[in-house]
Amino acid sequence: MLVDNYSRKFKYLRLSLTEKCNFKCSYCLPNGYKGCSAKYLDLNEITNLAFAFKELGIEKIRLTGGEPTLRPDLIKIIQTLKEVVGINHLALTTNGFRLKQDLEKLKCAGLDSLNVSLDSMQESKFKEICGTEKSRDIRYSIDHALRLGFKNVKLNCVLLRDLNDNEFFDFLEFAKSRPVSIRFIELMKTGDNKSYYERHYLPVTSFEQKLRESGWEQLASTSVSGPAKEFYHSNFAGRIGFISPYSKDFCTTCNRLRVSSVGGLRLCLFGQGDISLRDLLQSSDDRKRLKVMIATALKLKPQSHRLNEGLFGDMCSLSAIGG
Ligand code: SAM
Ligand code: SF4
């Protein structure tokens, strides 16, 4: 079991498969992905990494990016993590662009759950925020995922002042008859979005207040819920959650580790630098050394980020590590 110096236990890994993305979300990659020469972890490296983390007690792996569905070998990666490595819970975070064509293959390959980003219910607003007109297709894919029997479908919406902050009731309506969990995420400041952040950051507390006033109740948090606060209402099939990295308790419940698409272990989303695991990912013979390296590195995990002091680490955009 991976435990840090502050008694936080880690059973959840977020693994970025690529930095590439086909969207131009205004808060993340407003000018689109510009390309880099990095060689992303291949299937062999990913398998060795996953075996080591599994033996250290990791039960859930979330595949993220960039846009993970752009990896041509995504299905093979999922099958291997599920069938060969034996990961209990395999999740994917995606912008939803390719879901219409990929959903059934993903399900057959063994994917357990899905987080789909959807920042607006309105097509023109969605285009303004994400640079493409795909919100209708994404909503269709969410419904299709539910029909296919995905148990844990989450919808991520970054709350943005003067852009989507008037859509509270539209999102609520979406959760009325669908068993989805809608997560409103506070905009995070990164190296590339400082002035955007000043214009569009909005604390989620305003939505939370409206929700409580409409009779929603907070669910007790569990060891797997991590830093999200979740609410339910007996008249709604879905749930509403909030992720507020700037709140004072955010780090106390941190239950996740992150590995970049080139094998860098990132101990805190808002920290400085990664610890490269790549040399030890080439052969299964190095698994013991790899596990020692990960467990030792975890002792360096800081107790808290320092966002409130204006220190947001060295990350230019969340596309580099996957949120
Ligand atoms: N491309 C996939 C997607 O958009 O779902 C996966 C990667 S994306 C970086 C993961 C999540 O991070 C998305 O839900 C996205 O909206 C969110 N995100 C990206 N930049 C963010 C920021 N600056 N603040 C808050 N959330 C952000
Ligand atoms: Fe791409 Fe996801 Fe970033 Fe949007 S949030 S630009 S979809 S990586």
Residue 25 CB–ligand 2 contact under 6 Å: yes
- Atom of ligand 1 at shortest range from CA of 116: 5
Given a cut of 90, whether residue 224 has pLDDT beyond it is no
Given a cut of 80, whether residue 81 has pLDDT beyond it is yes
CA of 186 to the centre of ligand 2 (A): 15
Residue 206: pLDDT band by 50, 70, 90 thresholds?
confident
CA of 285 to the centre of ligand 2 (A): 36
Residue 134: pLDDT band by 50, 70, 90 thresholds?
very high
pLDDT (mean) for 282-306: 93
pLDDT given for residue 115 in this prediction: 97
pLDDT (mean) for 130-159: 95
Nearest to 322 by CA among 15, 12, 10: 15
Tokens of 136: 């209708």
Given a cut of 90, whether residue 316 has pLDDT beyond it is no
Q: Given its phi and psi angles, is residue 314 left (phi above 0), alpha (psi -120 to 50 degrees) or beta? A: alpha
> Percentage of residues in the chain with pLDDT exceeding 70?
98
pLDDT given for residue 320 in this prediction: 81
User: Distance between CA atoms of 165 and 120, rounded to whole angstroms?
Assistant: 9
How far CA 167 is from CA of 49, 171, 174, 295, in Å, comes to: 41, 6, 11, 43
pLDDT (mean) for 273-293: 97
pLDDT given for residue 52 in this prediction: 98
User: Which of 26, 69, 156, 195 has most ligand 1 atoms within 8 Å of its beta carbon, as the pocket-test mutant?
Assistant: 156
User: Distance between CA atoms of 27 and 24, rounded to whole angstroms?
Assistant: 8
Given a cut of 80, whether residue 306 has pLDDT beyond it is no
Pocket of ligand 1 (CB under 6 A): 21, 27-28, 64-65, 67, 93-95, 117, 156, 158, 185, 187-188, 190, 193, 318-319, 322-323
What tens digit of pLDDT does each residue of 228-276 get? 899 999 999 999 999 988 876 778 888 889 999 999 999 988 888 899 9
Residue 21 CB–ligand 2 contact under 6 Å: yes
CA of 290 to the centre of ligand 1 (A): 29
CA of 189 to the centre of ligand 2 (A): 15
pLDDT (mean) for 148-175: 95
Written in H, E and C, the secondary structure of the chain is CEECCCCCEECEEEEECCCCCCCCCCCCCCCCCCCCCCCCCCHHHHHHHHHHHHHCCCCEEEEECCCHHHCCCHHHHHHHHHHHHCCCEEEEEECCCCHHHHHHHHHHHCCCEEEEECCCCCHHHHHHHHCCCCHHHHHHHHHHHHHCCCCEEEEEEEECCCCCCCCHHHHHHHCCCCCEEEEEEECCCCCCCHHHHHHHCCCCHHHHHHHHHCCCEECCCCCCCCCCEEEECCCCCCEEEEECCCCCCCCCCCCEEEECCCCEEECCCCCCCCEECHHHHCCHHHHHHHHHHHHHHHCCCCCCCEHHHCECCCCCCHHHCCC
pLDDT given for residue 173 in this prediction: 96
Ligand 2, atom 4: nearest CA belongs to which residue? 25
| pTM of this prediction exceeds 0.85 | yes
Given a cut of 90, whether residue 313 has pLDDT beyond it is no
Residue 302: pLDDT band by 50, 70, 90 thresholds?
confident
pLDDT given for residue 309 in this prediction: 74
Residue 101: pLDDT band by 50, 70, 90 thresholds?
very high
Name the closest ligand to CA 116.
1
What tens digit of pLDDT does each residue of 22-55 get? 999 999 999 999 877 779 999 999 999 999 999 9
- CATH code for the domain defined by 2-320: 3.20.20.70
- Atom of ligand 1 at shortest range from CA of 156: 14
**Helices 99-109 and 135-147 sit at what angle, rounded to 10 degrees?**
30
Residue 223: pLDDT band by 50, 70, 90 thresholds?
low
Residue 319 CB–ligand 2 contact under 6 Å: yes
Mean pLDDT of the chain: 93
> What are the residue boundaries of the structural domains of the chain, listed by start?
2-320
- Atom of ligand 1 at shortest range from CA of 319: 9
pLDDT given for residue 149 in this prediction: 93
pLDDT (mean) for 163-181: 96
Pairing of strands 264-266, 2-3: unpaired
